[in-house]
């Protein structure tokens, strides 16, 4: 007779069919990437498992009449389970409590990836991203993706080359939190690669702000073939009663003289790359500025 707790080796469907047993293991790392994540046993549950093995061994010898109990390695298979990189990775309770305190006090609004980076670089605590994510979920600091409302958007094909089309947009936000007044970031993102090309902080989103940001962009990257923006009055004439001029704004006229196309998007989703860059910057850049005391 062989006794064996399957742990991560168990099949979730079989556990449910044979009695609704829970999928558990010593740690929370799945057997393979993308598979179900087992619930890590508590310390008391692990002690209970050890006690059950001891009871089974005693019953086998003293009640069932077996000659003895043999602990074997299954030709190295069983010892290998304890030597793999996905084994022996449990975070002890004291460390978990210390990490949770840090997350709550300093990184309450950080995502798992950024929080993991800061724990490693700022506190010398090197944990797997999944471990940090599970701690954040357990403490209510992170909502798993499967529990969020789905977002459906019509994709727009990217341009083929870097510099062929650059999406530009301004984002008013408390970038420096309570350390400075609310300001606007003028953001330039390449359409082909989603690469963040340039940022300029200004008091407001204005024509002169875009002139300066675009001049700095030219000095660093050269001229693009086209800029992709919204329909703000900086980029196009929105008044039907306007009769003077050639129908260009000052910014549009400057692009015309430079032989650069100015394209206005019909919806915010059409320039989704720069819109998503705003969200990333509002999350990561604000926190980086906070940590650096700027």
The answer to whether the beta carbons of residues 84 and 26 sit under 8 Å apart is: no
| Backbone dihedral angles phi then psi of residue 123, each to the nearest 5 degrees | -125, -5
Q: Which of 170, 207, 166, 255 is nearest to 246 (CA)?
A: 255
User: CATH says 166-291 is which class?
Assistant: alpha beta
Task: Give, for all 294 residues of the chain, the pLDDT tens digit.
Answer: 677 777 878 888 888 888 888 998 877 778 787 888 888 888 888 889 889 888 988 998 888 888 888 777 777 766 776 677 666 667 778 889 999 999 999 999 999 999 999 999 999 999 989 889 999 999 999 998 888 877 766 677 889 999 999 999 999 999 999 999 999 999 999 999 999 999 999 999 999 999 999 999 999 999 999 999 999 999 988 776 655 555 689 999 999 999 999 999 888 888 889 999 999 999 999 999 999 888
Cα 211 from Cα 126, distance rounded (Å): 44
Q: So where are the chain's domains?
A: 7-81, 93-147, 166-291
Q: Work out whether the CA dihedral 150, 152, 156, 157 comes out positive or negative.
A: positive
How far, in Å, CA of 112 to CA of 129, rounded? 6
Tell me the two tokens of residue 184: 């606007």
In sequence order, what are the residues at sequence separation of 6 or more whose Cβ sits closer than 8 angstroms to the Cβ of residue 181? none
Q: pTM of the predicted model, to two decimals?
A: 0.57
**pLDDT tens per residue, range 40-66:** 888 888 889 889 888 988 998 888 888
Instruction: Please give the structure tokens belonging to residue 222.
Output: 């050269």
Strands 226-229 and 261-264: parallel
């Amino acid at each position: 007779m062989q006794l064996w707790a399957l742990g991560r080796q168990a099949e979730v469907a079989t556990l449910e069919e044979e009695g609704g047993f829970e999928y558990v293991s010593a740690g929370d790392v799945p057997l393979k990437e993308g598979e179900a994540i087992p619930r890590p046993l508590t310390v008391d549950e692990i002690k209970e498992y050890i006690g059950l093995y001891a009871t089974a061994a005693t019953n086998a010898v003293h009640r069932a009449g077996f000659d003895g109990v043999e602990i074997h390695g299954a030709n190295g298979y069983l010892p290998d389970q304890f030597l793999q990189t996905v084994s022996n990775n449990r975070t002890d309770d004291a460390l978990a409590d210390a990490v949770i305190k840090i997350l709550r006090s300093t990184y309450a609004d950080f995502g798992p990836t950024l929080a993991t980076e800061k724990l490693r670089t700022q506190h010398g605590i090197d944990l797997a991203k999944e471990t940090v994510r599970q701690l954040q979920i357990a403490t209510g600091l992170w909502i798993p993706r499967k529990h969020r409302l789905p977002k459906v958007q019509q994709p727009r094909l990217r341009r083929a080359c870097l510099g062929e089309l650059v999406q530009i947009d301004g984002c008013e936000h408390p970038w420096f939190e309570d350390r400075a007044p609310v300001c606007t970031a003028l953001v330039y993102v390449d359409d082909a690669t989603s690469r963040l090309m340039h940022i300029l902080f200004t008091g407001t989103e204005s024509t002169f702000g875009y002139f300066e940001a675009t001049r700095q962009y030219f000095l660093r990257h050269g001229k693009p073939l086209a800029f992709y923006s919204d329909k703000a009055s900086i980029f196009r004439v929105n008044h039907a009663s306007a009769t003077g001029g050639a129908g260009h704004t000052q910014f549009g006229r400057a692009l015309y003289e430079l032989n650069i196309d100015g394209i206005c998007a019909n919806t915010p989703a059409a320039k989704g790359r720069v819109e998503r860059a705003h969200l990333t910057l509002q999350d990561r850049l604000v926190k980086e500025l906070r940590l650096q005391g700027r």
